[in-house]
Each structure stands twice: as C-alpha cells, then as structure tokens.
C-alpha cells in the first residue's frame, strides 16, 4: 500500500511540474504572439507612412513637371522661335550665309 502512496505522491509532483511547464509555455506563446502582432502593426504603419510619402513625392514631381511644361510653352527657347519663324535661317546661319530679314 505504501508503494501506491509513493507512486501517487510521485505522480502528483510530476503533474505539478507538467502544469508549471505548461503555464510557462503558454505565457511564452502569448508574449511571442503579442510581439508578433506589435511587429506586424508597426510594419503596417511604416508601409502606410511610406505610401503617403511616395504619393506626396509623386504629386510634387507631377506638379513640377506640369509647371516646367507650362513654362516651356510660354517661353520657348530662342532657337525654337528662330526655326519656327524661318526654318532656313538656322541652316543658313550655320553656313555663314546672311539671311535678309
């Protein structure tokens, strides 16, 4: 009978050890999942911020491009004006010939 009692005490201790290990593993798992969730949240926020920065930069670039194109149409390069006025003028000027104006 004492061997049954000794086995019962041994099993009770082993059961407590297992429960303690289980509790520790559950806590580690909760910590891991919490860290993982926090990391994912941080990554999502970083990606959203990067997307907003990229969209703002793209808008700035498009605005600058539009402004430059408007400026080119308002003030064309002098050589462009010269060619539009007289397509032969540039050719004759490069050969040294004078074009009557």
Domain assignments of the chain as residue spans, ordered by start: 2-94
Give yes or no for a contact between 60 and 52, defined as CB atoms under 8 angstroms apart: no
Give yes or no for a contact between 70 and 64, defined as CB atoms under 8 angstroms apart: no
| Unique residue bearing structure tokens 């004078």 | 98
CB atoms within 10 A of CB 83: 15
What is the per-residue pLDDT across 60-72, written as a single tens digit (0 to 9) for each?
Answer: 999 999 999 888 7
Give yes or no for a contact between 86 and 97, defined as CB atoms under 8 angstroms apart: no
Give yes or no for a contact between 99 and 89, defined as CB atoms under 8 angstroms apart: yes
What is the per-residue pLDDT across 46-97, written as a single tens digit (0 to 9) for each?
Answer: 999 999 999 999 999 999 999 998 887 777 777 877 777 776 655 555 555 5
């Amino acid at each position: 009978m004492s061997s049954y009692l000794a086995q019962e005490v041994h099993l009770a201790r082993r059961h407590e050890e297992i429960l303690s290990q289980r509790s520790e593993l559950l806590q580690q798992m909760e910590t891991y999942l919490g860290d993982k969730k926090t990391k994912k949240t941080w990554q999502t926020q970083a990606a959203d911020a990067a997307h907003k920065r990229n969209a703002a930069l793209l808008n700035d670039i498009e605005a600058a491009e539009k402004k430059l194109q408007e400026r080119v149409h308002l003030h064309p390069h002098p050589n462009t004006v010269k060619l539009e006025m007289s397509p032969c003028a540039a050719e004759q000027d490069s050969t040294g010939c004078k074009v009557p104006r």
